[in-house]
């Protein structure tokens, strides 16, 4: 079962072609890792999946992305607000709103029409999912900026979970964290398998091996990011076919 | 080395002396105002009516008119200025022709001499719109004048917000209105307040733009449509047109300086707090 | 759908405020132009530069010679810049390279306060303290010198503060490179720092010039307001701004439209100075530096 069907997706910023002609299916309830060297369009690709590309001036997207059977870009397109409720995102740098922890949940939940009295329970459940509840339950009205980097990132994951999305996009969620915080975050992503469809961009191949059910490798060819290999994680990571991927994996393994 | 030393010394001394002279001039001005006026500043002076053309009596009505002018000025400049800054930072691309035109117009507006604002205010608000010499006319004229201050400060407050607030709000499916109301404006609020405070400071200092818009009346103003002199116009009138008005002029100048000082300290205090909040977030 | 509708309403409303804000300048220029039209239509130019005197209200012999006032404005502004620019730049150098950090911080606060003192207070002080002092030296006291002194005191903080920011914007790496080559402080300032900071310093001076030429109250209170070409520093003068402030209350007909023309001229000159400044700065940095 494919949750997201991407076909012939190209992304350009003005004259720069960031991503060219990507066709990929993201299986439902599984973790799909996007790997590849930096600058090969992984993040741009991810941002197209919740139309965050709209925020970038001069960014043009062509091809099609379908969530279940609904088009993201072609008419009749899903409106961005309900799209982003269904497709959540966690960024590389933790980005809680500079307000209280509680407000970080209230603002998005109220926006999507959750009644006020249901919010505390949702917030508790989401924070428990990332093992943050015990750490912050006594100081929910403190500014989220006072949390440590790892806690902030887990808060951001919980904030995305609270909207009960169908898909969650992770854009190198551990690369701004120290190794211990990074392992904690990874463990929580692991635990979300099955409940959500997860797409994670990472440049950490060991992490991809530990987390992913399937892997897509992006590569820079002719000045543009392309998908060069895809399949179940075990196959791609242990027996890659593309020579570039072979040397990439060997280089990093050796 | 030996040859270089004297130049180094000289440069240090000359610069230091100039800095000292600047401080000295400031002290001199303050001392003269205190010497001439401090004994006049009493509660009765602040609340009492003017008498004998301002030579004696207090500045009560003048303070009320000043507050009225400020109120009119903020009523005009704050919504317009903050709105314009939000539009510039959130709704147009930075280098787009529209944004450049508006910013260019605003920066040029900041350079317009205050007497020209007076000329314009008299023609447009007093005569064309028929508001006459009134507190409202004066306030609106000052509103045009402080508009650039409010816009520029609000704009830089908005642009200095952490850049990831916008994508993170969008990724949660917040509408632009919610993003503005719940995320961006609360974060930028102290910065916006600094801009408004700076604008108040400029408005309080202004004289030339008011002489022919809000007028000279010394009575208690009954409404915004009444004429009334601001504190700065009062000082000017006492100094230039009223023989022996010096003592009360100095006293009024002290009051004005105290207000400006308070405004300035508020602005820089707010700025400090804002900055520490911003950096607190980034650690 | 309703949410994106609300978004669109908000965007339109904010766009309107931006249009009004940007349009204020156009409105001002338009009204000045409308007011000045008769003066521009009258074939006045000959009068403006041909007539010897400024007596626009006279019924029998109206004369419209504006040269004395233009020269007055130029002299007052030029002299005050001549006094304030070197002093401002030197004190900025002192604050950035010579004074202890704590003293520099204190002095910056003082300069910011001095910049916030209302012009009418400067004018009052000039009138009650400076003018009598000059009068003792050389009557009548109300003079070009008094105006230039008061004005230079008013614009000195602007020049000093913008120069300090310009000097401090010079990359530390350049200073380290110069120090590592054993270059002494004066040469470092003269050959490394000032060339790099010159655009910023120049921008500050242009900004100060725009403020000086537009200043009304302080100048009007100490300059004597006699429309003549001064023969010495101690003679009274009357700049353009003072003329507008003194006469717009009662002027009519050709006289009044001349005042509008004077306003238009001021806007053009200060606008040109500000464009020059922006060109020098060339970056779109924020104006208020006191808190950013």
DSSP per-residue string spanning chain C = -HHHHHHHHHHHHHHHHHHHHHHHHHHHHHHHHHHHHHHHHTT-HHHHHH-S-EETT-SSS-EE--HHHHHHHHHHHHHHHHHHHHHHHHHHHIIIIIS-HHHHHHHHHHHHHHHHS-HHHHHHHIIIIIHHHHHHHSTT--SHHHHHHHHHHHHHHHHHHHHHHHHHTS-HHHHHHHHHTT--HHHIIIIIIHHHHHHHHHHHHHHHHHHHHH--HHHHHHSB---S--SSTTS-B--HHHHHHHHTTT--HHHHHHHHHHHHHHHHHHHHHHHHHHHHH-S---S--S--
Distance, CA of B16 to CA of C92 (rounded, Å): 10
Work out the pLDDT band at C43, boundaries 50, 70, 90.
low
- Model pLDDT for residues B256-265, shown as the tens digit of each residue: 999 999 998 8
Q: For residue C176, what pLDDT is reported?
A: 79
**Does residue C60 have a pLDDT over 90?**
no
Q: Tell whether the torsion through CA atoms of C224, C227, C228 and C233 is positive or negative.
A: positive
- Model pLDDT for residues B92-122, shown as the tens digit of each residue: 888 889 999 999 999 999 999 999 999 999 9
Cross-chain Cβ contact B250/C124 below 8 Å: yes
Distance, CA of B147 to CA of B151 (rounded, Å): 6
The average pLDDT across C207-217 equals 94
* B172 and B211 belong to one structural domain: yes
* B120 and B226 belong to one structural domain: yes
Q: Determine, yes or no, domain membership for C233.
A: yes
Q: Which of B111, B149, B239 sits opposite C124 (nearest CB)?
A: B239
Q: How far apart are the first and last CA of chain A?
A: 36
* B9 and B82 belong to one structural domain: no
Q: Determine, yes or no, domain membership for C112.
A: yes
Is there a contact between C21 and B147 (Cβ–Cβ < 8 Å)? yes
Phi and psi, residue A227, nearest 5°: -85, 120
DSSP 8-state class, residue A229 = E
Cross-chain Cβ contact B168/A57 below 8 Å: no
Residues facing residue A4 across a β-bridge: A26, A67
Q: Determine, yes or no, domain membership for C290.
A: no
How far from B271 is each of A121, A145, A146, C116, CA to CA, in Å?
Answer: 38, 19, 20, 16
Span A2-253 CATH architecture: 3-Layer(aba) Sandwich (3.40)
**Does residue C237 have a pLDDT over 50?**
yes
Nearest Cα of chain A lies from the Cα of B173 at a distance, in angstroms, of: 4
* B15 and B122 belong to one structural domain: no
**Does residue A254 have a pLDDT over 60?**
no
Q: For residue B272, what pLDDT is reported?
A: 76
**Does residue B62 have a pLDDT over 50?**
yes
Cross-chain Cβ contact C287/B151 below 8 Å: no
Cross-chain Cβ contact C259/B101 below 8 Å: no
Cross-chain Cβ contact A91/B280 below 8 Å: no
Packing angle of the helix pair C101-116, B246-282 (nearest 10 deg): 130
- Model pLDDT for residues B235-256, shown as the tens digit of each residue: 999 999 988 888 999 999 999 9
- Give the residue among B264, B261, B251 at the shortest CA–CA distance from B63: B251
**Does residue C19 have a pLDDT over 90?**
yes
Q: For residue A252, what pLDDT is reported?
A: 57
Peptide bond into C2 cis (omega under 30): no
Q: For residue C142, what pLDDT is reported?
A: 93
Cross-chain Cβ contact B236/C278 below 8 Å: no
Q: Per the structure, how many domains does chain C have?
A: 1
Q: For residue B53, what pLDDT is reported?
A: 83
Q: For residue A188, what pLDDT is reported?
A: 92
**ipTM of the predicted structure?**
0.91
- For chain A, the residues whose C-beta falls within 8 A of a C-beta of chain B are 50, 52, 54-55, 57, 80-85, 88-89, 91, 93, 95-99, 103, 107-108, 111-112, 143, 145-146, 156, 159-160, 163
Q: For residue C146, what pLDDT is reported?
A: 96
Q: Determine, yes or no, domain membership for C30.
A: no
Cross-chain Cβ contact C184/B4 below 8 Å: yes
Work out the pLDDT band at B4, boundaries 50, 70, 90.
low
Contact residues, C window 72-111, toward B, CB-based 8 Å cutoff? 87, 90-91, 93-95, 98-99, 107, 110-111
Cross-chain Cβ contact C18/B108 below 8 Å: no
Distance, CA of C192 to CA of C97 (rounded, Å): 13
* B35 and B89 belong to one structural domain: no
Nearest Cα of chain A lies from the Cα of C9 at a distance, in angstroms, of: 17
Burial B51-65 (b: 16+ CB within 10 A, else e): eebbbebbbbbbbeb
**Does residue C288 have a pLDDT over 70?**
no
Q: Token digits for A45?
A: 């690709």
Cross-chain Cβ contact B170/A80 below 8 Å: yes
The average pLDDT across A93-108 equals 90
The average pLDDT across C75-83 equals 96
- Chain B residues lying within 8 Å of C119, measured CB to CB: 205, 207-208
Q: Determine, yes or no, domain membership for C207.
A: yes
- Give the residue among A249, A223, A220 at the shortest CA–CA distance from A236: A249
C1 close to A (CB below 8 A): yes
Is there a contact between A36 and A218 (Cβ–Cβ < 8 Å)? yes
Domain ranges of chain A: 2-253
Q: Which of A82, A93, A107 sits opposite B174 (nearest CB)?
A: A107
Work out the pLDDT band at B281, boundaries 50, 70, 90.
very low
Residues of chain C with pLDDT > 90: what percent? 60
The average pLDDT across C261-289 equals 76
DSSP symbols for A45-101 = HHHHTTTGGGGSTTEEEEEEEEETTEESSSSSPPPHHHHHHHEEEE-SS----SSBH
Residue ranges making up the domain that contains C102: 63-281
Work out the pLDDT band at C3, boundaries 50, 70, 90.
low
* B248 and B237 belong to one structural domain: yes
* B166 and B239 belong to one structural domain: yes
* B34 and B50 belong to one structural domain: no
Work out the pLDDT band at A170, boundaries 50, 70, 90.
very high
- Give the residue among B140, B148, B74 at the shortest CA–CA distance from B109: B148
Nearest CA in chain C to A79: C1
Where do we find the tokens 């009505």?
B61
- Within 8 A by CB and 6+ apart from B184, the residues are B90, B158, B161, B165, B166
Q: Determine, yes or no, domain membership for C32.
A: no
- Give the residue among A218, A233, A195, A203 at the shortest CA–CA distance from A32: A233
Nearest Cα of chain A lies from the Cα of B72 at a distance, in angstroms, of: 33
* B14 and B137 belong to one structural domain: no
Cross-chain Cβ contact B153/C286 below 8 Å: yes
- Chain B residues lying within 8 Å of A54, measured CB to CB: 170
Packing angle of the helix pair A101-111, A119-129 (nearest 10 deg): 120
DSSP 8-state class, residue A124 = H
- Within 8 A by CB and 6+ apart from C12, the residues are none
Q: For residue A39, what pLDDT is reported?
A: 84
Distance, CA of C160 to CA of C164 (rounded, Å): 6
Is there a contact between A222 and A19 (Cβ–Cβ < 8 Å)? no
Q: For residue C285, what pLDDT is reported?
A: 41
- Give the residue among C110, C158, C118, C138 at the shortest CA–CA distance from B33: C118
- Chain A residues lying within 8 Å of B93, measured CB to CB: 57
Q: How far is Cα of residue C285 from the mean position of the Cα atoms in its chain?
A: 20
C4 close to A (CB below 8 A): yes
Residue ranges making up the domain that contains B86: 43-282
For residue B28, the surrounding DSSP H or E stretch is helix B4-37
Q: Per the structure, how many domains does chain B have?
A: 2
More reliable by pLDDT, C287 or A33: A33
A79 close to C (CB below 8 A): yes
Q: Token digits for A48?
A: 């197209």
- Number of Cβ atoms within 10 Å of the Cβ of C243: 26
* B70 and B29 belong to one structural domain: no
- Chain C residues lying within 8 Å of B156, measured CB to CB: 286-288, 292
More reliable by pLDDT, C92 or B278: C92
Cross-chain Cβ contact C267/B116 below 8 Å: yes
For residue A132, the surrounding DSSP H or E stretch is none
- Chain B residues lying within 8 Å of C6, measured CB to CB: 175, 177
A76 close to C (CB below 8 A): no
Nearest Cα of chain A lies from the Cα of B99 at a distance, in angstroms, of: 14
Nearest Cα of chain A lies from the Cα of B75 at a distance, in angstroms, of: 29
Is there a contact between C47 and C63 (Cβ–Cβ < 8 Å)? yes
- Chain A residues lying within 8 Å of B173, measured CB to CB: 80-85, 108, 111-112, 163
Q: Which of B12, B120, B261 sits opposite C94 (nearest CB)?
A: B12
Mutate to test the interface with A, among B95, B96, B97, B168 (most CBs of A within 10 A): B168
Residues of chain B with pLDDT > 70: what percent? 95
Q: For residue C66, what pLDDT is reported?
A: 85
Distance, CA of A53 to CA of C262 (rounded, Å): 52
Nearest Cα of chain B lies from the Cα of C25 at a distance, in angstroms, of: 6
Nearest CA in chain C to B274: C291
Q: Which of A85, A91, A103 sits opposite B168 (nearest CB)?
A: A91
Nearest CA in chain A to C7: A81
Maximum distance among all alpha carbons in chain B?
A: 74
Distance, CA of B180 to CA of C120 (rounded, Å): 40
The average pLDDT across C162-176 equals 87
How far from A92 is each of A54, A167, B275, C195, CA to CA, in Å?
Answer: 19, 17, 24, 41
Q: For residue A54, what pLDDT is reported?
A: 85
């Amino acid at each position: 079962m494919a949750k997201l069907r991407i076909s012939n997706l190209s992304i350009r910023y003005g004259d720069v072609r960031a991503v060219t002609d990507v066709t990929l299916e993201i299986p439902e309830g599984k973790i799909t890792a996007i790997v590849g060297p930096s600058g090969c369009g992984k993040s741009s690709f991810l941002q197209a999946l919740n139309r965050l590309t709209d925020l970038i001036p001069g960014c043009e997207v062509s091809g099609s992305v379908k969530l279940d059977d609904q088009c993201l870009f072609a008419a009749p397109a899903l409106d961005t607000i309900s799209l982003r409720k269904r497709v959540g995102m966690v960024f590389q740098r933790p980005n809680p709103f500079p307000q209280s922890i509680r407000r970080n949940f209230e603002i998005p939940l109220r926006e999507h029409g959750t009644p006020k009295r249901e919010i505390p329970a949702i917030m508790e459940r989401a924070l428990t999912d990332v093992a943050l509840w015990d750490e912050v339950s006594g100081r929910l009205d403190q500014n989220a900026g006072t949390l440590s980097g790892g806690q902030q990132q887990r808060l951001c994951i919980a904030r995305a979970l609270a909207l009960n999305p169908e898909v969650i996009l992770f854009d190198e969620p551990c690369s701004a964290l120290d190794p211990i915080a990074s392992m904690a975050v990874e463990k929580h992503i692991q635990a979300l398998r099955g409940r959500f469809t997860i797409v994670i961009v990472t440049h950490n191949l060991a992490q991809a091996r530990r987390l992913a059910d399937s892997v897509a490798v992006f590569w820079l060819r002719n000045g543009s990011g392309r998908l060069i290999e895809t399949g179940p994680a075990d196959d791609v990571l242990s027996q890659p076919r593309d020579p570039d991927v072979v040397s990439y994996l060997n280089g990093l393994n050796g | 080395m030996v040859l270089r030393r004297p130049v180094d010394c000289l440069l240090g001394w000359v610069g230091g002396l100039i800095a000292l002279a600047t401080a000295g001039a400031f002290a001199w001005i303050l001392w003269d105002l205190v010497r001439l006026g401090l004994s006049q500043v009493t509660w009765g002076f602040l609340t009492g009516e003017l008498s004998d053309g301002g030579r004696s009596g207090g500045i009560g009505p003048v303070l009320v008119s000043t507050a009225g002018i400020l109120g009119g000025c903020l009523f005009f400049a704050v919504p317009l200025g903050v709105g314009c800054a939000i539009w510039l930072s959130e709704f147009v691309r930075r280098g787009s022709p529209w944004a450049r035109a508006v910013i260019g117009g605003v920066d040029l507006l900041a350079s317009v001499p205050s007497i020209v604002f007076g000329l314009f205010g008299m023609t447009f608000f007093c005569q064309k719109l028929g508001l006459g010499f009134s507190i409202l006319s004066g306030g609106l004229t000052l509103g045009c004048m402080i508009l650039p201050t409010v816009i520029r400060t609000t704009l830089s407050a908005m642009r200095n917000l952490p850049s990831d607030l916008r994508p993170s709000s969008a990724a949660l499916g917040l509408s632009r209105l919610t993003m503005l109301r719940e995320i961006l404006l609360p974060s930028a609020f102290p910065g916006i307040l600094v801009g408004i405070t700076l604008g108040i400071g400029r408005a309080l200092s202004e004289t030339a733009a008011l002489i022919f818009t809000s007028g000279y009346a010394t009575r208690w103003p009954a409404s915004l449509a009444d004429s009334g002199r601001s504190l700065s116009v009062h000082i000017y009138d006492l100094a230039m047109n009223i023989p022996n008005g010096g003592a009360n002029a100095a006293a009024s100048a002290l009051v004005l300086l105290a207000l400006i000082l308070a405004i300035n300290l508020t602005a820089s205090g707010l700025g400090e707090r804002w900055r520490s909040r911003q950096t607190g977030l980034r650690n | 759908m309703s949410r994106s509708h609300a978004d669109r309403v908000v965007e339109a409303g904010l766009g309107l405020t931006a249009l009004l804000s940007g349009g204020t300048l156009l409105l001002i220029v338009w009204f000045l132009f409308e007011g000045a039209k008769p003066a521009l239509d009258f074939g006045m130019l000959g009068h403006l530069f041909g007539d010897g005197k400024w007596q626009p209200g006279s019924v029998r012999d109206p004369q419209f010679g504006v040269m004395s006032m233009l020269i007055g404005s130029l002299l007052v502004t030029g002299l005050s810049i001549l006094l304030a620019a070197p002093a401002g730049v030197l004190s900025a150098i002192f604050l950035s390279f010579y004074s202890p950090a704590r003293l520099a911080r204190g002095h910056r606060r003082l300069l910011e306060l001095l910049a916030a003192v209302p012009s009418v207070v400067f004018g009052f002080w000039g009138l009650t303290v400076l003018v009598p002092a000059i009068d003792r030296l050389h009557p009548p006291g109300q003079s070009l010198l008094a105006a230039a002194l008061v004005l230079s005191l008013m614009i000195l903080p602007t020049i000093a503060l913008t120069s300090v920011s310009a000097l401090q914007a010079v990359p530390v790496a350049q200073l380290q490179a110069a120090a590592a080559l054993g270059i002494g402080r004066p040469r470092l300032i003269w050959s490394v720092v000032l060339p790099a900071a010159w655009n910023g310093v120049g921008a500050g001076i242009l900004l100060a010039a725009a403020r000086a030429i537009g200043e009304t109250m302080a100048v009007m209170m100490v300059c004597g307001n006699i429309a003549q070409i001064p023969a010495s520093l101690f003679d009274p003068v009357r700049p353009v701004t003072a003329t507008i402030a003194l006469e717009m209350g009662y002027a009519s007909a050709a006289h009044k439209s001349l005042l509008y023309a004077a306003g238009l001229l001021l806007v053009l000159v200060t606008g040109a100075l500000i464009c020059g400044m922006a060109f020098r700065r060339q970056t779109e940095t924020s104006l208020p530096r006191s808190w950013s």
